[in-house]
């Protein structure tokens, strides 16, 4: 069994993939209560793969860089500052 405590990137990828796949499955169930179109397993699998390969590792390293730049979040002011920086950085056009 993979020890996720010793592999933080794998943990972030597994968490993100699971949450994204389950979130999409829940969204399909809520949006289609009459079951007229059926459940799209491939769609949920794509969300899971995107979480495992892109979202989890990217956010792990991205938030790690922000923590190195600004230090740990110890109060609400620092949390707001980091949040605003992340919004600015993610929307910056090169």
Reading the chain (94 residues) residue by residue, the pLDDT tens digits are 556 578 999 999 999 999 999 999 999 988 887 777 788 999 999 999 999 999 999 989 988 888 898 888 899 999 999 989 988 887 876 5
* Residue position matching structure tokens 């995107």: 50
What is the per-residue pLDDT for 39?
86
What is the per-residue pLDDT for 13?
96
What is the per-residue pLDDT for 46?
97
What is the per-residue pLDDT for 94?
56
Cα dist from 35 to 29, 30, 73, 88, whole Å: 8, 10, 45, 41
pTM of the shown model: 0.75
3-state DSSP call for residue 94?
coil
What is the per-residue pLDDT for 3?
65
């Amino acid at each position: 069994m993979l020890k996720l405590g010793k592999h933080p990137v794998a943990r972030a990828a597994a968490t993100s993939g699971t949450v994204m796949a389950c979130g999409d499955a829940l969204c399909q169930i809520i949006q289609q209560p009459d079951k007229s179109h059926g459940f799209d397993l491939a769609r949920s699998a794509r969300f899971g793969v995107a979480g495992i390969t892109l979202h989890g590792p990217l956010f792990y390293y991205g938030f790690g860089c922000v923590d190195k730049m600004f230090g740990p979040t110890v109060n609400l002011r620092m949390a707001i500052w980091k949040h605003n920086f992340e919004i600015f950085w993610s929307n910056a056009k090169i």
